[in-house]
Amino acid sequence: AQSVAQPEDQVNVAEGNPLTVKCTYSVSGNPYLFWYVQYPNRGLQFLLKYITGDNLVKGSYGFEAEFNKSQTSFHLKKPSALVSDSALYFCAAPSYNTDKLIFGTGTRLQVFP
């Protein structure tokens, strides 16, 4: 069965420092992978996706993600964190042969001034 895992419930980082939010996947076939962000009292927003091609995917708000097939990972990164990046981040992958997305449990990112 398709699945994604986010091993960290929370990540804390100081403003200006690089950040990484981890995601590993277990999917059959070529993986499609997504990152979403949820700000307080808002719905989830699409950040970026990997379909095929370059292993480094660039997305909204300066975020990027690195697809690593050998480690089955798709970690979200940003070179310099902002306090406004503080939010809940979800990794996701399509369920096999359906339109559904399987979401990870979410990682809360806290950026301190």
Contact footprint for another protein (CB under 8 A) = 32, 34, 41-46, 49, 90, 94, 98-101, 103, 105-106
Nearest distance from C-beta of residue 102 to another protein, angstroms:
9
Nearest distance from C-beta of residue 18 to another protein, angstroms:
27
Amino acid found at 72: T
Nearest distance from C-beta of residue 81 to another protein, angstroms:
24
- Backbone dihedral angles phi then psi of residue 104, each to the nearest 5 degrees: -70, 180
CB nearer another protein, residue 34 or residue 63: 34
Per-residue HEC secondary structure of 20-78 comes to EECCEEECCCCCCEEEEEECCCCCCEEEEEECCCCCEEECHHHCEEEEECCCCEEEEEE
CB nearer another protein, residue 23 or residue 81: 23
CB nearer another protein, residue 46 or residue 112: 46
Residues whose CB is less than 8 angstroms from the CB of residue 52 and which lie 6 or more positions away in sequence, other chains included: 30
Rg, the chain, Cα only:
13
Nearest distance from C-beta of residue 99 to another protein, angstroms:
5
CB nearer another protein, residue 81 or residue 93: 93
